[in-house]
Amino acid sequence: MSESLDPSYIGEGIYKENILDHYKHPHNQGQMKNADIKFTENNPLCGDVITVELKLSRNKIDDIKFMGRGCAISQSAMSMLSDELMGKTMQEAKSVTREKIVEMLGIEIGPVRTKCAT
């Protein structure tokens, strides 16, 4: 066997400051009154659940809030993503890819935990 099982899976190294910052002080966390769109996603691997609410005005995301529990990766990704999506049109929002989210996190994550971020 090789020295290390998966070179991108570097333990503590993925807990960079920006990630821990977002995790400890998440942006746009909470709930809103009369959301236009509300959906819940879960990750069966770890039991994480996230509910996202959107308020739209003229097809633009006017406000975004998320609630839920999860690991530092999923929570900080959601926090960063909520900043990214604010003010975007639905069209633009849909074009945010998995790669983009991983890039935003600024870390490399192993295949097992990509699901946490996306």
Question: Is the Cα torsion angle 43, 108, 63, 60 positive or negative in sign?
Answer: negative
Closest separation in Å from C-beta 41 to other proteins: 14
Is 77 a residue that touches other proteins (CB under 8 A)? no
- Establish if 49 lies at the interface with other proteins (CB under 8 A): yes
CA distance 93 to 60: 9
Number of residues that make up the chain: 118
Maximum separation of any 2 CA atoms in the chain, in Å: 56
- Which two tokens mark 20? 């821990």
Total residues interacting with other proteins, rule: CB under 8 A: 24
Nearer to other proteins, 9 or 84 (CB): 9
Cross-strand partners of 52:
39, 66
CB of 92 to other proteins, least distance (A): 30
Q: Is 118 in the site for other proteins (CB under 8 A)?
A: no
Residues that bind other proteins (CB under 8 A): 1, 3-5, 9-15, 20, 45-49, 69-73, 113, 116
